[in-house]
């Protein structure tokens, strides 16, 4: 895929951070970890990754705004554009030595996602998309799955941990969904869950109470791969909604009806 200058900048930044994180991942037992909340950890590697991304992205586009997991919101001189960044999605996996985590970078223009990069550095899989130009993984064009029977579909989600208030709702979702599908996976990285929907590896994904940096890039990837993405209601912006749903077009309505408990 021949991308825009912004997409090429995003890819370059993701690769630089990926090299840093892979090095730290190999020495994961030596990382200094501080508790950010029950069951939710932040490492030196996480903070350093966001520092590098800020340096790369804002260094090249100093007028853009910023929304990052570790450093929060910074208004830009250009109010129409902002980077939405998760430097390490899947921190708990990373800290346990599980090679399933990613760097997620989205570019928003006038409230819409226009460019996306999700980099799985441990597996060297670079997922990219630009609005209207399709979605790719390592230059291979991505398409969502073509499955139309729910009983043949597998779905991904995140199961809340550490007493989070959405646990009961997620367990109810699972009770409704699991009897009618081929399985549910919980791999611990929302960014990669969405990238896998775009790649046709999962047929759909849902999760409650995520943050914009968890899903911003993935939303565009799924759409550019021919999938559907929505929030708690059809009119919600899924990047800001308390619930995100993504699936191929053939099963989306049935899947969304089950998760939204529409009967």
The predicted model scores a pTM of 0.94
- Asked whether residue 235 carries a pLDDT value surpassing 80, the answer given is yes
Mean pLDDT of 89-96: 90
Do 246 and 201 have their domain in common?
yes
> What is the band of 38 on the pLDDT scale with cuts at 50, 70, 90?
very low
Q: Give the domain-ending residue among 91, 120, 141.
A: 141
- Asked whether residue 171 carries a pLDDT value surpassing 80, the answer given is yes
- The pLDDT score that the predictor gives to residue 37 is 56
Do 135 and 155 have their domain in common?
no
> What is the band of 164 on the pLDDT scale with cuts at 50, 70, 90?
confident
CATH number of 248's domain: 3.40.190.80
Quote the number of domains for the chain.
2
- Asked whether residue 60 carries a pLDDT value surpassing 80, the answer given is yes
Q: Give the domain-ending residue among 87, 117, 141.
A: 141
> What is the band of 36 on the pLDDT scale with cuts at 50, 70, 90?
low
Q: Give the domain-ending residue among 111, 141, 171.
A: 141
Mean pLDDT of 45-61: 95
The answer for 168, left when phi > 0, alpha when psi is -120 to 50, beta otherwise, is alpha
Percent of the chain with pLDDT over 70: 94
Do 49 and 22 have their domain in common?
yes
Mean pLDDT of 52-62: 97
> What is the band of 40 on the pLDDT scale with cuts at 50, 70, 90?
low
Mean pLDDT of 195-222: 98
Within the chain, strands assigned E span: 33-37, 40-43, 65-68, 72-74, 81-89, 102-109, 112-120, 125-130, 134-137, 140-141, 154-156, 183-185, 204-208, 228-230, 243-247
Domain span at residue 26?
5-141
Do 131 and 163 have their domain in common?
no
């Amino acid at each position: 895929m021949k991308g825009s200058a912004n997409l090429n900048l995003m890819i370059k930044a993701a690769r630089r951070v990926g090299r840093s994180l892979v090095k730290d991942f190999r020495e994961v037992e030596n990382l200094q970890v501080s508790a950010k909340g029950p069951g939710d950890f932040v490492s030196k590697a996480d903070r350093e990754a966001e520092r590098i991304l800020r340096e790369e992205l804002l260094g090249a586009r100093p007028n853009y705004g910023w929304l990052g997991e570790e450093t929060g919101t910074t208004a830009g001189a250009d109010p129409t554009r902002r980077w939405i960044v998760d430097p390490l999605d899947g921190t708990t996996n990373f800290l346990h030595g599980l090679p399933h985590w990613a760097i997620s970078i989205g570019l928003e223009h006038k409230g819409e996602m226009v460019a996306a990069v999700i980099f799985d550095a441990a597996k060297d899989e670079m997922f990219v998309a630009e609005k209207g130009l399709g979605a790719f993984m390592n230059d291979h064009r991505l398409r969502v799955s073509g499955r139309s029977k729910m009983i043949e579909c597998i779905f991904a989600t995140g199961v809340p941990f550490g007493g989070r208030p959405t646990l009961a709702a997620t367990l109810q979702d699972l009770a409704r969904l699991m009897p009618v599908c081929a399985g549910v996976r919980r791999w611990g990285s929302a960014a990669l869950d969405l990238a896998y929907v775009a790649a046709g590896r999962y047929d759909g994904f849902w999760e409650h109470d995520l943050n914009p940096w968890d899903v911003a890039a993935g939303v565009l990837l799924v759409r550019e791969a021919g999938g559907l993405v929505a929030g708690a209601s059809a009119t919600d912006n899924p990047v800001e909604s308390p619930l995100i749903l993504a699936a191929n077009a053939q099963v989306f309505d049935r899947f969304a009806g089950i998760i939204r408990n529409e009967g």
